Amino acid sequence: MSMLSPYRVLDLSDERGQLCGQILGDLGADVVVVEPPGGSRSRSFGPYAMDDPTPERSLNFWAMNRDKRSVVADLETEAGRAQLRALAAATDFVIESYEPGVLDGLGLGWAALSAANPRLIMVSISAFGQSGPKAGWAASDITVLAASGTLHITGDDDRPPVRVTVPQAFLHGAAEGASAALIALAARERDGLGQHVDVSAQSAATMATQSMVLNHAWGEAALERLSGGIKLGPLQIRLVHPARDGFVSVSFFFGSAIGPFTRRLFEVMHERGFADEATRDKDWLGYGLLLASGEEPISELFRVQDLISEFTKAHTKRELFDLALERGLLIVPVATTADLLASEQLASRDYWTEVEHPELGRTVTYPGPFAKFSAQPLKYGRRPPLVGEHTAEVASEWGGTAPVTPAANVAETPRLPALHGLKVLDFMWVMAGPAGSRTLADYGATHVRVESTTRVDTARTLQPFKDKEAGPERSGLFGSLNAGKLGLTLNLSTEEGRATALKLAAWADVVLESYSPKAMKAWGLDYDSIRKVNPGVIMLSSCLNGQSGPHAGLAGFGTMGAQLAGFGEIAGWPDRPPAGPFGAYTDYIAPKYTAAAVLAALDHRRRTGEGQYIDLSQSEASFHFIGPAILDNVVNGRIARRAGNASLEFAPHGVYPCVGDDAWVAVAAETEGQWEALCRATGNTGWLTDERFATLGARHAHNDALDEAIGGWTVSRTADEIETTLQAAGVPVHRASTTVDVLADPQLAHRGHFVMVDHPVVGTVPVENARSILSATPAAITRAAPTYGQDNEYILRELLGLSGEEIVDLVAAGALD
């Protein structure tokens, strides 16, 4: 029995939602894909096994549907609709990604299905959500990415914004849907009723801006693009540098947390003749302040970064990575899919999963479990289903199942927050950890966040800062990642601090941490120590490479994780170095898996009483966002490369200039009907008969000419004009929203994406809300992120029951620093 083995999932979605069902299936649920005759739309997307463009060979479908079963139901017929209603009456979850209102029109929407099955949890994944001014907008993955603000800040500043070649926006939405479904499950198992989960891919993908969507509201300037790096005001920090055989990522930052790594880098460069003594001996901890004050000229920043490039160019990726492991440097390769498949770290963790494909007469290597669970390991090995392969089997198994009827008075009982009563002890820091743990606070958990003034959380040192004034209590990034949490300062270098932490671990249902491997063991706070005082505890550790393997000790951040996980090699232009993804990209993927892992483990404990330890590698979890590219390498021997904004499936598909400073619109035509509508709406009907554009194949062959033609039409028009014209014709389009645009987006406002909180230092400020809307137990952001030690008294007295004298003793011992 696996964690979610008691539950059934009916997956009506296509490529926009199938990752949601995949995550629930990985956790043990019985997932059945409902496909139309001919197969799911996701089967029509490449790449294809052996380059055979047939429904059973789509690697896109394979990547999100292993271990699922398939039934065929034609929802255009009454017989098909009756078939679906019967299945929905016997399931726990329905996942769908139709345009809002389509299922309602078929009599298969939330109202109809929940009337027959009140315990049903229905997850709707759409571009913009089920209601609001943009709910009915035509959308493609690239236009949703544009709407999220992520696209505009990714790429070279002298070219259009650029995407990751494997579509990402709907994957963010689908992964959010999985954790939201499990939150709804927690509420159902307490109250007896299901609910509707409304997931907006736009809202989900805003996480990949690293809270930069808050810039304007917090008084910072809008963020600008910088290829393979980041712009911080006048500072241009390059993160990607050339190696002899490719590229590497170098985390070149300053301050107390990262400055020591930069200092070690220049010590190594000096030893090898790439930096003089004066450069080696710069104040790398305080270098940011020197640049900001003008004491160090910006030209010097460019010079030292050029030195880094000269150093990296003289070495291979492997040489640099080995040096990083040996000397404690923040250097990792920009990995290709081939590098991932050959990784000794992944091999040592037995990551890859071999799946038998009898129809091919071979096994295929798939990305493995997104996390390692001590009590209920994730196991799967069945290939993705053929179209309708299990129609009769599922009808036989599910046909006699009657829905469980809730107690008569349950509907009248006010519903508490979904996670009310859950107790969380949180040692997470920086971004990936706190983003994942905040989900638990959003839905009602009592959430104690532990930190220390003796080791400042890096997130407190990152922009946006309120009114551009840096300070540990003024970071919008920290403020958004940690809203809703209680704050406790504990100095774990003291015996008293460690003892207090262990008492809290005995109190908690869930313990979370994201320090380097072995740190918690050194403090006596590892899983084996904690479960002695709390046998049922769920503990999750999140770090870059996981808790084991030869590279487990690599210190690192999400900027490095993004490159280690293969995203950099497929973000940018074919004729240039990697230009993305923006920032700490794996830090925006891993949180979705963190929340799902904890919630599944909690449900398993509710039924069995069994706790467990979860080892989540941020890199390993993120591989599922490039699954088709990995499978293409495995099956076809093809290494994925940067392709700009070009698409395998659609043309046109790009980002085009419009009126304004650095203003762009994303446009895609996913069908011939949309292409014809675009031509007519723009007054360019001649394109329909132009032999270069007359067919999809011709448009792909003449993609540069097509982009030039469309750009020629957009360049003299405003984004408003272009959106109005093309949306009226049903063509996917959206401006590449700046961080300022996102803050003002009426669709996000409709969904309450930004929530005002009162902070004791910076006043009333916005933070981002949860990405999903639950109909019965919605998220509630109850407070701003804590200031240092803000809740010490409450936590120690009310939660731990310490006396005033005991608290005074802790203060005297320095345990509360």
Distance CA 105, CA 98 (A): 11
pLDDT at 557: 81
DSSP string of 248-315? EEE----HHHHHHHHHHHHHHHHHTTSS-HHHHTS-SSSHHHHHHHTSS-HHHHHHHHHHHHHHHHTS
Domain count for the chain, please give it: 2
In a domain, 264, yes or no: no
> Would you list the DSSP string of 668-709?
E--SHHHHHHHHHHTT-THHHH-TTTSSHHHHHHTHHHHHHH
Tell whether 188 is covered by a domain: yes
Per-residue pLDDT tens for 705-745?
999 999 999 999 999 999 999 999 999 999 999 999 999 99
CATH number (domain holding residue 386):
3.40.50.10540
Using only C-alpha atoms, the chain has a radius of gyration, in whole angstroms, of 26
What pLDDT does 228 receive?
A: 76
| 375, 60 Cβ separation under 8 angstroms | no
Place of tokens 């910088």: 226
Q: E strands within 371-485?
A: 372-373, 423-427, 446-451
Is the alpha carbon torsion for 429, 433, 439, 440 positive or negative?
Answer: negative
Question: What sign does the CA torsion over 316, 319, 322, 326 have?
Answer: negative
> How remote is the C-alpha of 45 from its chain's centroid?
22
User: CA nearest 227: which of 213, 211, 239?
Assistant: 239
At residue 381, the pLDDT reads 82
Tell me if 724 is assigned to some domain.
Answer: yes
Burial class (CB in 10 A: 0-12, 13-18, 19+), 357: middle
Q: Which residues of the chain have pLDDT under 50?
A: none
Q: For 453, phi and psi rounded to 5 degrees?
A: -70, -15
CB distance 142 to 653 below 8 Å:
yes
Q: 349 in a domain, yes or no? A: no
Which residues constitute the domain of residue 138?
A: 8-209+372-411
Report the DSSP pairing between strands 772-774 and 423-427.
Answer: unpaired
Of 698, 719, 744, the position where a domain reaches its end is 744
- 56 CB contacts (<8 Å, ≥6 apart)? 43, 359, 386, 387
Q: What is the pLDDT of residue 400?
A: 67
Question: What string of H, E and C letters represents the secondary structure of 512-546?
Answer: EECCCCCHHHHCCCCHHHHHHHCCCCEEEEEECCC
**Structural domain includes residue 325:** no
Among residues 566, 567, 521, 564, the alpha carbon closest in space to that of 544 is found at: 564
φ/ψ (deg, to 5) at 425:
-110, 120
Q: Which residues are registered as beta bridge partners of 248?
A: 241, 333
- Classify residue 271: in a domain, yes or no: no
- Cα–Cα distance for residue pair 412/485, rounded to 1 Å: 30
Secondary structure (DSSP) of 22-33 = HHHHHTT-EEEE
How much is the pLDDT for 236? 86
Q: Which of 541, 492, 551, 436 is nearest to 182 (CA)?
A: 436
Please say which residue of 725, 744, 763 terminates a domain.
744
Determine which helix (DSSP H) or strand (DSSP E) holds 487, and give its type and residue range.
Answer: strand 486-489
β partners of residue 230 = 237
Residue 802 backbone phi and psi in degrees, to 5: -75, 150
Residue 7: name the closest of 199, 173, 188, 198 by CA: 188
Residue 550 is encoded by which pair of tokens? 């030869």
Q: E strands of 157-219, at which residues?
A: 196-200
Written as one letter, the residue type at 324 is A
Using the 3D structure, point to which of 352, 381, 411 is the last residue of a domain.
Answer: 411
Question: Shortest CA distance to 784 belongs to which of 741, 809, 755?
Answer: 755
Overall pTM > 0.95: yes
Residue whose token pair is 């345009």: 99
Domain containing residue 720: CATH number: 3.30.1540.10
